[in-house]
């Protein structure tokens, strides 16, 4: 073993202890367990340890306690996590990060995983001029929001959800499950406008209605009146003790922008996840990659993995070229999966669309195929098909010929295989005993199951055919009696 001391580990500073920042640290810990190559310092503004933001709607629903959604903290010498301290300034010249407590962190590589925050629409009463939520209003981005929401509304109380996207619908499902009376307001023509088509949305809205959630699509809110509710542009007022705003997010890009790093709506990164500054990287919701992907956790985790491989040098050639995000609604009793090109014109060149609509059964399936590959789907109420179809999409594998069976989650019909590979109909598969053999044994005097077993071996394997053999024997006995009589 070599005893030469290598250079000290390179210093990586991660800004943001959310799902993506924490995942980056975890990936590094896995790739460099002894911390010989790099040392990672994660800086998080929240006092809380990292937790799983994806499950916040589950906390609202009461399915998870806040403790259950904590993320693993790498227990390795190569990772340090500092919570409750925000990063305030970034100096890319001197390669150091300034923290809210006035201290500085020098870095060799900086990773921005600052995430995003709720965007409050410019509606009277929703947000104060300083950006804080108005009275009775909350976003649903972090644990504090969750706690605020649960302190604002009790079972039986009316709650309005502003924004009928994935998070809004998950929150609505959770709240109605807790006994709240929930209305959802969506300014687009239909709910989950980005992910699903209108016929699917109509059936989905009906399912929500059946659960006690009223959905108001293509309605703009004009005013939030604390203690009363949300006033719509048509003058109606939706009663609400609380308003949950789930109307989009805004990337936390200020730190990068102030440091002169190129930003648009996010921090611009290339396939190496590097910003306009060579030693500064960005991943997750704050990053803007040409391949898209912000807003969902899976792309952020893929980015964390790629960047960890690059910065630990375990795979310096790794790149992120975009991902194919898939939406899976987490709402108790509603199975909805959607991804890809579901808004394309069905007559578009090279597209083949299978649609099944069953409003009565609350089911809808749309499968879009191009060049034998799944390129888009909406599956509402077909959980088994959803699992299969999303894997076909993920792996780019060709679709089976029987598209209808596929969207229904049914197995392909058995093929014609000619001679059945020479296999006869067996009563006892373990010992390859046919009905004819058993009948012959009976004719030769074997009248009990045990005697049949001794002569033919039937029933001595897994024993699964005992019932069949007994039935065969009693049938033979009946025939025999009839014959004698």
Partner 1 sequence: MTPGQSTTTHCPYCALQCAMHLDTGPDGHLTARPAPFPTNRGGLCRKGWTSTEVLTVPDRLTRPLMRKDRDAPLTEVDWDTALDHVAARLNALRAESGPDAVAVFGSGGLTNEKSYTLGKFARLALGTSQIDYNGRFCMSAAAAAGNRAFGLDRGMPFPLTDVAEAEVVLLAGANPAETMPPMMGHLSAPTLIVIDPRQSGTAQAALDNGGMHLAPRPGTDLALALGLLHAVHVQGWTDTDYLHARTHGFDDAWRHAAAWWPERTEQVTGVSATQLRRAADLLGRAARNRSAYVLTGRGTEQHAKGTDTVSAWINLSLALGLPGRRGSGYGCITGQGNGQGGREHGQKADQLPGYRRIDDPAARDHVASVWGVDPATLPGPGRSAFELLDALGTDSGPRAMLLFGSNPVVSAPDADRVRDRLASLDLLVAADFVLSETAAMADVVLPVAQWAEESGTMTNLEGRILRRAKATEPPQGVRTDLQVLADLATRLGQPAERFPTDPDTVLAELGRASAGGAADYSGATPDRLAAGEALHWPVRPDSAPTPRLFLDSFAHPDGRARLIPVAHRPPAETTDADYPLIATTGRLMGHYQSGAQTRRVPELTDAEPEAYVEVHPDTAARVGLAHGDWARLTSRRGHTRARVRLTPTARLDTVFVPFHFAADQAANNITNPALDPTSRMPEFKVSAVRLDPEPTP
Contact residues: partner 1, CB under 8 A: 26, 30, 52, 54-55, 58, 63-64, 68-73, 298, 326, 328, 330, 335, 383-384, 386-388, 390-392, 394-395, 397-398, 400-402, 411-415, 417-418, 421, 429-432, 454, 457, 459-464
Residue 244 CB, nearest approach to partner 1 (Å): 21
Specify the residue, 106 or 398, whose C-beta has the smaller distance to partner 1.
398
> Can you tell me the distance from the alpha carbon of 319 to that of 309, in angstroms, rounded to the nearest whole number?
9
Specify the residue, 224 or 339, whose C-beta has the smaller distance to partner 1.
339
User: Is residue 280 exposed (0-12), middle (13-18) or buried (19+ Cβ within 10 Å)?
Assistant: buried
Closest CA to 364 of 202, 134, 192: 202
Residue 389 CB, nearest approach to partner 1 (Å): 10
Specify the residue, 255 or 386, whose C-beta has the smaller distance to partner 1.
386
Structure tokens at 292: 């898209």
CA dist 27 → 79, 274, 304 (Å): 11, 18, 7
Q: Under a CB-based contact definition with an 8 Å cutoff, are residues 46 and 17 in contact? A: yes
Residue 164 CB, nearest approach to partner 1 (Å): 19
Specify the residue, 272 or 388, whose C-beta has the smaller distance to partner 1.
388
Structure tokens at 335: 């199975």
Residue 462 CB, nearest approach to partner 1 (Å): 3
Rg (CA), the chain: 30
CA dihedral of 441, 442, 446, 450, whole degrees rounded to 10? 90
Residue 479 CB, nearest approach to partner 1 (Å): 28
Task: Give, for 13, the enclosing helix (H) or strand (E).
Answer: strand 10-15
Residue 157 CB, nearest approach to partner 1 (Å): 25
Q: Under a CB-based contact definition with an 8 Å cutoff, are residues 256 and 263 in contact? A: yes
What one-character-per-residue DSSP string does 56-83 give? HHHHHHTSS-GGGGBPP---STTEEEE-
Specify the residue, 415 or 483, whose C-beta has the smaller distance to partner 1.
415
Closest CA to 13 of 116, 119, 97, 77: 97
Specify the residue, 223 or 328, whose C-beta has the smaller distance to partner 1.
328
**451-458 LR contacts (CB < 8 Å, sep 24+):** 456/428, 456/431, 457/428, 457/431, 457/433, 458/427, 458/428, 458/431, 458/433
Residue 141 CB, nearest approach to partner 1 (Å): 18
Specify the residue, 88 or 388, whose C-beta has the smaller distance to partner 1.
388
Specify the residue, 117 or 328, whose C-beta has the smaller distance to partner 1.
328
> Can you tell me the distance from the alpha carbon of 33 to that of 68, in angstroms, rounded to the nearest whole number?
26
> Can you tell me the distance from the alpha carbon of 309 to that of 323, in angstroms, rounded to the nearest whole number?
17
Specify the residue, 65 or 198, whose C-beta has the smaller distance to partner 1.
65
Q: Are strands 267-268 and 287-288 parallel, antiparallel or unpaired?
A: parallel
Specify the residue, 464 or 475, whose C-beta has the smaller distance to partner 1.
464
Residue 456 CB, nearest approach to partner 1 (Å): 11
> Can you tell me the distance from the alpha carbon of 275 to that of 251, in angstroms, rounded to the nearest whole number?
15
Residue 468 CB, nearest approach to partner 1 (Å): 12
Within 10 A of 167 (CB to CB), how many other CB atoms are there? Answer: 26
Residue 113 CB, nearest approach to partner 1 (Å): 16
């Amino acid at each position: 073993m070599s005893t030469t001391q290598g250079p000290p580990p390179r210093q990586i500073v991660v800004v943001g202890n959310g799902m993506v920042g924490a995942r980056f640290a975890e990936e590094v810990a896995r790739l460099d367990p002894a911390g010989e190559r790099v040392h990672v310092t994660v800086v998080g503004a929240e006092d809380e340890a990292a937790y799983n933001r994806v499950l916040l709607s589950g906390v609202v629903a009461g399915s998870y306690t806040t403790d259950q959604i904590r993320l693993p903290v790498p227990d390795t010498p190569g990772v340090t996590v500092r919570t409750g301290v925000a990063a305030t300034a970034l100096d890319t010249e001197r390669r150091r990060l300034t923290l809210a407590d006035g201290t500085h962190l020098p870095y060799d590589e900086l990773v921005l995983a600052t995430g995003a925050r709720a965007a409050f629409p410019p509606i009277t009463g929703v947000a104060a001029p300083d950006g804080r939520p108005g009275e009775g209003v909350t976003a649903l981005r972090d644990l504090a929001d969750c706690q605020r929401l649960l302190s604002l509304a009790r079972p039986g109380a009316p709650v309005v959800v502003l924004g009928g996207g994935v998070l809004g619908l998950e929150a609505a499902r959770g709240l109605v499950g807790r006994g709240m009376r929930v209305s959802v307001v969506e300014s687009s023509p239909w709910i989950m406008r980005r992910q699903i088509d209108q016929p699917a949305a109509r059936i989905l809205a009906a399912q929500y209605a059946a659960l006690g959630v009223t959905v108001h699509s293509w309605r703009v809110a004009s005013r939030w009146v604390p203690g009363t509710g949300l006033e719509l542009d048509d003058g109606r007022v939706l009663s609400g003790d609380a308003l949950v705003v789930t109307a989009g997010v805004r990337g936390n890009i200020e730190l990068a922008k102030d440091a002169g790093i190129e930003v648009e709506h996010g921090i611009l990164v290339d396939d190496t996840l590097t910003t306009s500054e060579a030693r500064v990287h960005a991943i997750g919701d704050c990053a803007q990659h040409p391949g898209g992907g912000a807003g969902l956790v899976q792309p952020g985790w893929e980015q964390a993995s790629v960047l960890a491989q690059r910065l630990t040098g375990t795979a310096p050639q790794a790149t992120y070229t975009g991902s194919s995000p898939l939406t899976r609604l987490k709402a108790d009793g509603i199975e909805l999966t959607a991804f890809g090109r579901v808004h394309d014109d069905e007559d578009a060149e090279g597209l083949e669309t299978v649609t099944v609509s069953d409003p009565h059964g609350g089911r809808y399936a749309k499968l879009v195929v191009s060049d034998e590959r799944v390129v888009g789907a909406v599956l509402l109420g077909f959980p088994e098909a959803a699992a299969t179809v999303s894997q076909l999409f993920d792996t780019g594998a060709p679709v089976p010929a029987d598209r209808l069976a596929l969207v229904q989650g049914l197995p392909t019909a058995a093929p014609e295989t000619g001679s059945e590979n020479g296999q006869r109909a067996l009563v006892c598969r373990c010992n390859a005993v046919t009905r004819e053999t058993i009948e012959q044994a009976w004719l030769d005097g074997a009248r009990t199951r045990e005697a049949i077993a001794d002569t033919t071996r039937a029933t001595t394997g897994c024993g699964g055919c005992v019932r069949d053999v007994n039935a065969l024997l009693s049938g033979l006995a009946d025939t025999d009696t009839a014959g004698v009589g």
